[in-house]
Amino acid sequence: MNAADFDKLSDEEKEHFFQCPKCGDFVDKCELRNVIFHVTDHKPKPHIPRIIGKPMPERPSGD
């Protein structure tokens, strides 16, 4: 995401992004693959699943 698009987001949405120090892109922290792409070497990592940010399922209580 570029700075112009980032500017259109609400403050709440902006909290989910950080600016990549290497390329200046705004990266959605909920997208693990994007984050890893930017904090490593900017090469695609197809083996990393796209989705994260889902809450962990709650463990059933009791045993």
Under the rule (CB under 5 A), what is the footprint of Zn ion? 20, 22-23, 25, 38
3 DSSP β-pair partners: none
Q: Least distance in Å: CB of 5 to Zn ion?
A: 15
Residue placing its CB nearer to Zn ion in the complex, 21 or 60: 21
Tokens of 29: 């922290």
Q: Least distance in Å: CB of 16 to Zn ion?
A: 16
Q: Least distance in Å: CB of 42 to Zn ion?
A: 6
- Strands annotated E in the chain: 17-19, 26-28
Do residues 46 and 58 make contact, with C-beta atoms less than 8 angstroms apart? no
